[in-house]
């Protein structure tokens, strides 16, 4: 994804500091909300200092800004567009162009502060399904696109924000609305990207509407955790390890075929301190870049001036926390953004690229199954746990949906699954036979004949729930250096397995297989008899057992290793996320500490490293060996250019 903004240095406005060089291939930007205060009325739509704000965006190294159209302001009477609003938008576009910024124009945003959609003549009709209102919406879109179709400052047209999308009652209605509005844009502007700014996972969680088909026609897609989804998937402070991985998890869950914009980055509640806001932003931005994001938009520029109260998430999409306070004074998060922009400015994404991931965590289709099947609620937590554990093993990993082809991957992790869709076992069998390595953990339900054959085990029945997780290692070093453990844990299911043709690698306290390995065709099929990822994912306010985390980390790392998909860079600190951008003559190494404590990560390479240099400049440090230690602050990051000997 490119914004075609020139790479340049500039000194702008009152902020006389040197502006970071901007990276056209990774647009960095911010949501620019129409109002900065709860006390402001809807008619004050972008009535503030837009020119000054845009100058500040430029100074911070940004290239992209999302603005929100007010239908209420643009069309006060049916079919009569406000000249004042049209001129105001013209001024905004011109100001953006003057500062080298490009705009994402969002047409229909549900924003309870700015009341953008409440056209008085709408008479309580639903703007999502009412044919007349949809017609008026299409007309508004055509009007605005026609005004600005030749403006280079417009980067993309966005049909609606997620708060708007989650008002749809069904996927069909959502798809029909998106198709109608997209057609309206295309009638006037056939080329510019059209976006639907919802994350399919968070939208499904909020409304249980599957919007993925509507994304099929979009040139750019977005990912973002809402505050409610964060509480559901990774309960705890925003800087807790599960939470800091959540942005990249959702980014990966969207898919990799199209550019994914990391959206709404940063803390969303006033509960976090300024330091925690900065740490959360740093983790999200860097892990986004390290996981293949094509750009990033920060949640908000300036804090909303609210009454003195805690935020209430009656509106789960409320965005009130920005990079600067209500007076415009920069918060620590602003420094993080500038630093990130500085790093981006020195990273040429035409030269350096991430190695394609060959390990994937499978998101089962039971995620979309209706209640009372609880698998749909367990599944995201289990997948997140598996994803984090693979990350801790420093193995490059992505997410795949069950219905997608398995061929691009060498290792598939199927965490705590109750049931797979019809035909999936057959596909998995064929894939393993062809050389794939499968790690499957039993999540309850039946163990069909295909599964029994694949794993080389006999299914003797369901062993019921247990209050302790126990592991006795039977075959040391066969699947990594597993450690025995016996810890309290709520194990909801345990498959009683007979060894059959498989090798029992570990057992429970009674000798029943816990972990088996079966050579099948050219590949390997590993079975864990209990849903350990779910145990971790369901820990919530309880403390997850560290021994189980370590077990899974070791297992995943070992399977990836024997399949030839192990870490590109070894690291002795599980909390540190590692990403290697490979270049022609040198590489760029990213190290991100997800822990809230300082540590030194010892990283090792296959090839001896001659020198390392901070990507932003400075003198090269001589290494002259295949490993070195990198000191990292809590939630700190290090970006190094590596020159090999």
Binding site for other proteins (CB under 8 A): 227-228, 231-232, 235-237, 239, 269, 271-273, 276, 308-314, 371-372, 374, 377-378, 444, 465, 488, 490, 492, 538, 540-543
Start-to-end CA distance of the chain, whole Å, equals 34
In contact, 639 and 614? CB cutoff 8 Å: yes
Strands 587-593 and 637-644: antiparallel
**CA 513, CA 523: separation in Å to the nearest integer?**
21
Work out how close the CB of 495 gets to other proteins at its nearest, in angstroms, rounded to a whole number: 15
Nearer to other proteins, 295 or 316 (CB): 316
Question: Nearest distance from residue 546's CB to other proteins, in Å?
Answer: 9
We find the least distance from the C-beta atom of residue 444 to other proteins, in angstroms, to be: 7
Q: Whose Cβ is closer to other proteins: residue 165's or residue 177's?
A: 165
Contacts of 116 (CB under 8 A, 6+ apart): 34, 42, 45, 68, 69, 70, 71, 72, 73, 108, 109, 110
Q: Which is nearer to other proteins, 313 or 425 (CB)?
A: 313
Is the CB of residue 468 less than 8 Å from the CB of residue 415? no
- Name the maximum alpha-carbon separation found in the chain: 78
Kindly tell me which of 227 and 638 has the beta carbon lying closer to other proteins: 227
To the nearest whole angstrom, how small is the minimum distance from the Cβ of residue 378 to other proteins? 8
Beta carbons of 517 and 479 less than 8 angstroms apart: yes
Which residue, 236 or 328, is less far from other proteins as judged by CB?
236
Q: Least distance from C-beta 315 to other proteins, angstroms?
A: 10
CA distances from 145 to 33, 109, 137, 149, 277 (A): 20, 17, 12, 5, 36
- 3-state helix/strand/coil string of 572-635: CCCCEEEEEEECCCCEEEEEEECCCCCEEEEEEEEEEEEEEEECCCCCCEEEEEEEEEEEECCC
Nearer to other proteins, 229 or 605 (CB): 229
Closest CB 213 distance from other proteins, rounded Å: 24
* Rounded least distance, CB 155 to other proteins, Å: 32
* Pick 136 or 230: Cβ nearer other proteins: 230
Torsion, CA 103, CA 34, CA 308, CA 228, rounded to 10 = -50
199: its two tokens: 């994350």
Of 233 and 293, the one with the shorter C-beta distance to other proteins is: 233
Residue number, 80 or 309, with CB nearest to other proteins: 309
Strand 221-223 and strand 260-265: the pairing is: parallel
Tokens of 289: 């870049």
Closest CA to 25 of 5, 40, 45: 5
Min CB(310)–other proteins separation in Å? 5
**Residue labelled with tokens 């605005």:** 144
Give min distance, CB of 233 to other proteins, in A. 10
């Amino acid at each position: 994804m490119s914004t075609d903004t020139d790479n340049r240095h500039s000194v702008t406005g009152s902020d006389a500091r040197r502006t970071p060089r901007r990276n056209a291939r990774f647009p960095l930007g911010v949501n620019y909300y129409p109002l900065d205060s709860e006390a402001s009325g809807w008619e004050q739509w972008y009535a503030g200092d837009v020119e000054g704000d845009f100058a500040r965006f430029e100074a911070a190294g940004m290239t992209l800004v999302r603005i929100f159209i007010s239908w209420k302001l643009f069309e006060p009477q049916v079919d009569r567009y406000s000249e004042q609003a049209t001129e105001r938008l013209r001024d905004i576009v011109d100001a953006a162009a003057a500062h080298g910024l490009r705009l994402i124009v969002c047409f229909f945003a549900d924003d309870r502060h700015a009341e953008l959609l409440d056209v008085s003549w709408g008479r309580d009709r639903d703007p999502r399904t009412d044919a007349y209102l949809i017609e008026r919406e299409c007309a508004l879109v055509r009007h605005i696109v026609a005004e600005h179709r030749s403006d280079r400052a417009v980067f993309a047209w966005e049909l609606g924000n997620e708060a708007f999308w989650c008002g749809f009652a069904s996927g069909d209605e959502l798809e029909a609305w998106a198709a109608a509005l997209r057609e309206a844009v295309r009638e006037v502007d056939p080329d510019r990207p059209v976006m639907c700014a919802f994350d399919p996972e968070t939208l499904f969680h909020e409304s249980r509407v599957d919007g993925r088909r509507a994304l099929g026609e979009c040139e750019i897609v977005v990912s973002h955790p809402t505050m409610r989804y964060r509480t559901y998937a990774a309960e705890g402070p925003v800087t807790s390890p599960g939470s800091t991985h959540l942005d990249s998890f959702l980014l990966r869950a969207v898919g990799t075929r199209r550019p994914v914009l990391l959206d709404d980055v940063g803390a969303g509640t006033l509960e976090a301190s300024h330091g925690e806001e900065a740490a959360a932003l740093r983790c999200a931005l860097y892990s986004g870049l390290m996981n293949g994001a094509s750009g990033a938009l920060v949640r908000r520029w300036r804090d909303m001036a609210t009454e003195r109260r805690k935020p209430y998430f009656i509106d789960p999409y409320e965005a009130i926390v920005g990079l600067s306070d209500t007076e415009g004074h920069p918060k620590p998060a602003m420094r993080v953004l500038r630093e990130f922009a500085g790093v981006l400015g020195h990273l040429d994404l035409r030269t350096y690229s991430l190695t394609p991931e060959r390990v994937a965590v499978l998101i089962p289709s039971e995620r979309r199954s209706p209640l009372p099947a609880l698998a749909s609620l367990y599944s995201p937590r289990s997948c997140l746990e598996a994803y984090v554990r693979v990350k801790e093993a420093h193995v490059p990993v992505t997410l795949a949906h069950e219905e997608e082809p398995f061929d691009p991957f060498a290792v598939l992790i199927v965490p705590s699954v109750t049931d797979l869709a019809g035909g999936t076992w057959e596909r998995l069998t064929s894939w393993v036979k062809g050389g794939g390595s499968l790690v499957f953990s039993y999540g309850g339900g039946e163990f069909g004949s295909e599964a029994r054959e694949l794993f080389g085990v006999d299914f003797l029945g369901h062993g019921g729930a247990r209050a302790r997780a126990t592991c006795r290692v039977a075959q040391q070093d066969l699947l990594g250096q597993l450690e025995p453990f016996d810890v309290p844990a709520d194990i909801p299911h345990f498959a009683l397995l007979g060894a059959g043709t498989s090798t029992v690698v570990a057992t429970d306290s009674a000798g029943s297989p816990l972990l088996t390995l079966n050579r099948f065709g050219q590949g390997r099929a590993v079975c864990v008899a209990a849903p350990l990822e779910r145990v971790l994912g369901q820990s919530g306010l309880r403390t997850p057992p560290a021994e189980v985390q370590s077990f899974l980390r070791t297992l995943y790392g070992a399977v990836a290793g024997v399949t030839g998909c192990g870490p590109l860079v070894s690291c002795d600190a599980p909390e540190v996320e590692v990403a290697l951008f490979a270049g022609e003559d040198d590489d760029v190494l990213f190290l991100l500490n997800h822990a809230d404590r300082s540590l030194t990560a010892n990283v090792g390479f296959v090839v001896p490293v001659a020198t390392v240099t901070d990507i932003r400049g400075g003198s090269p440090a001589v290494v002259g060996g295949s490993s070195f230690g990198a000191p990292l602050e809590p939630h700190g990051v290090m970006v190094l250019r590596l020159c090999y000997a």
